[in-house]
């Protein structure tokens, strides 16, 4: 078999796993309840913007983007934590891993399926947000789309991190750990400051390590810029996207490595 055909086969196997994962995840109640919650937020944003005298469109936008960020983050953390642990717990992985595939293909397929769910979710919610925003008299700018793309990059990082926990612990613990990283990642600016100043002093190296290992999720958060119509430069955008991608690759490599060595 040629190298090309082998690569194509490898890709087909990963996408078969991704497709089944997608199908599995869109049946989850948590997805739909988070989605409804997000819609509720956007609707609320619309109502609030109607009632206030201030810049209606801006309020709707702020609310809507916060909702997208929250719902997407929640889905990434919860579903990422379940991604591998549930398969192992339900023993559905036996049939898959006795096929001629590598274990990393399994992990990547699962994550790809989740990313698909996240992308669809973000697309649906932002489509609705765009409608609301335009109805409230807002004007769309490219920064809005940059902001969305960076949001999705953050979801990717979060899912990959949750997936690392998912390969070696139960889904509950994985969700707890991943939520911790989600919160810490958004508090990264504070953690970095504390790492230099905190008392007792022995906490400092600990915080320093945390700030170096944990993903800096504040970088992906450009909601304030969009809200205030500040420009997001292409340089910042590309740099942040690259950071997200690199972090994801790093986390996924760790997940694949751990899973390959795991006794099943």
E strands, 166-240, are none
Nearest to 257 by CA among 85, 108, 113, 156: 108
Binders of other proteins among residues 13 to 72 (CB under 8 A) are 13, 16-17, 19-20, 23-24, 27
The two tokens of residue 84 are 């591998």
Query: 3-state DSSP helix/strand/coil percent for the chain, to nearest 5?
Result: 85, 0, 15
2 scored as a contact of other proteins (CB under 8 A): no
CA torsion sign for 213, 219, 224, 227 is negative
Q: Given candidates 29, 90, 197, 200, which one binds other proteins under the rule CB under 8 A?
A: 90
Using the minimum distance from each CB to other proteins, give the nearer residue, 95 or 213: 95
The two tokens of residue 102 are 């590598």
Q: In whole angstroms, give the CA distance from residue 146 to residue 241.
A: 10
Q: Given candidates 43, 48, 70, 97, which one binds other proteins under the rule CB under 8 A?
A: 97
**Piece of the chain touching other proteins by CB under 8 A; list 36-44, 49-57, 95-103, 239-247:** 95-103
Residue 109 CB, shortest distance to other proteins, in Å, is 10
Using the minimum distance from each CB to other proteins, give the nearer residue, 34 or 105: 105
- Binding-site ranges for other proteins (CB under 8 A): 9, 12-13, 16-17, 19-20, 23-24, 27, 90-92, 94-101, 263-264
């Amino acid at each position: 078999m040629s190298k090309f055909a082998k690569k194509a086969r490898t890709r087909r196997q990963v996408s078969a796993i991704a497709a089944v994962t997608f199908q599995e995840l869109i049946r989850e109640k948590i997805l739909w309840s988070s989605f409804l919650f997000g819609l509720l937020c956007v609707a609320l944003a619309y109502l609030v913007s109607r009632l206030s005298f201030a810049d209606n469109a801006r309020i709707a936008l702020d609310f809507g983007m916060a909702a997208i960020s929250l719902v997407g983050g929640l889905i990434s953390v919860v579903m990422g934590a379940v991604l591998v642990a549930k398969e192992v717990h339900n023993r559905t992985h036996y049939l898959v891993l006795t096929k001629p595939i590598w274990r990393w293909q399994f992990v990547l397929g699962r994550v790809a399926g989740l990313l698909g769910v996240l992308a669809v979710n973000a697309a649906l919610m932002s489509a609705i947000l765009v409608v609301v925003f335009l109805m409230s008299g807002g004007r769309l700018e490219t920064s809005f789309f940059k902001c969305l793309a960076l949001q999705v990059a953050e979801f990717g990082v979060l899912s990959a991190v949750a997936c690392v926990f998912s390969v070696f612990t139960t889904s509950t613990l994985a969700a707890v750990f991943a939520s911790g990283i989600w919160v810490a990642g958004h508090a990264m600016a504070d953690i970095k400051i504390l790492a230099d100043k905190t008392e007792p002093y022995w906490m400092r190296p600990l915080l320093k390590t945390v700030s170096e290992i944990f993903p800096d999720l504040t970088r992906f958060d450009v909601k304030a810029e969009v809200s205030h119509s500040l420009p997001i430069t292409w340089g910042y955008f590309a740099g942040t996207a690259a950071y997200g991608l690199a972090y994801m690759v790093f986390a996924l490599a760790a997940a694949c490595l751990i899973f390959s060595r795991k006794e099943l």
